[in-house]
Amino acid sequence: MKLRHAAALSPIMTVKELAQYLRCHFSMIYRLIRKGELPFFKIGSDYRFNRDDIDKWIVERERSRDRSR
């Protein structure tokens, strides 16, 4: 059995992990946070993201994009 990266198992992601998950640059994550478009919570001064909330956010964005076409 291969060992998996701990982040792959965790339902909570950091900015770096979320950027990898979404395949975008970490600056895009901060931009979405500033705009209030991304679900997040803070631990101290660090941003964290719940994987389930992010997955729901992705589905909602896809639905709204489909409706606007």
For every one of its 69 residues, what pLDDT tens digit does the chain have, with 9 covering 90 and above? Answer: 444 554 456 899 999 999 999 999 999 999 999 999 999 999 999 999 999 999 999 999 999 888 877
Q: Letter for the amino acid at 52?
A: D
Buried b (16+ CB within 10 A) or exposed e, 28-61: ebeebbeeeebebeeeeeebebeeeebeebeeee
Domains of the chain, first to last: 10-68 (1.10.10)
pLDDT for residue 2: 44
pLDDT at res. 1: 40
